[in-house]
Structure formats: C-alpha cells, structure tokens
Amino acid sequence: MGRWQVGSDDVALADDDGVLFVPARRLGELFDLAESIRDLERRQADRIRAGESLRAQVGFGAYLTAREEQPALTFREHLRRVGGAIEE
C-alpha cells in the first residue's frame, strides 16, 4: 500500500474513514488503546449529559489564556497537559 509493505502477518481494520494495517502481534495493544479511548469518551458523554460541557471538561478557556502567552501551543498539547487527549 503506497510505500508500505503489507504482509500475511498484518491485519486490515476498516471503517468509513479508511483502512488501517496493523501487525497481528500488536492487536492486543491496539485493542487496549481503543478500549481506553472508548471509556474516556463514555465518561465525557456522561458528564455532558449531567450538564458539564466538553469545553469545560477540556479546559478550553485555560487553553485560550495559555495561547496568549505561548502562541505556538497547540490544542493537542493542551489536551495532553489536562489528560483529555484520546488518541494517545
């Protein structure tokens, strides 16, 4: 696939957004990560249903304030600092 080699020891995972090829030996690690993302998103959704906006949960106001002092600060970096990054 492009510049990547896909072999018989790889697994293809696909959805409407695309395809991901993963070494079969790393599936357990990937599933653990996917479960942690799912759990975090469910907790966020529960808090939203309880009346707390996602904006408040991730400290978006604090991010905007920090950006005034550090213009290069990305939202992803902010999420890492506050524990809101779901991709990692």
5-23 per-position pLDDT tens digit? 899 999 999 999 999 899 9
Is residue 16 domain-resident? no
Is residue 15 domain-resident? no
Domain span holding position 46: 27-82
Q: Report pLDDT digits (tens) over 40-51.
A: 889 999 999 999
Q: What is the pLDDT of residue 84?
A: 73
Is residue 37 domain-resident? yes
Element housing 51 (H / E) = none
86: helix, strand or coil: coil
For the chain, the domain total comes to: 1
Is residue 34 domain-resident? yes
Q: What is the CA radius of gyration of the chain?
A: 17
Is residue 40 domain-resident? yes
Nearest to 59 by CA among 49, 73, 72: 73
pLDDT at 88 over 60: no
Is residue 57 domain-resident? yes
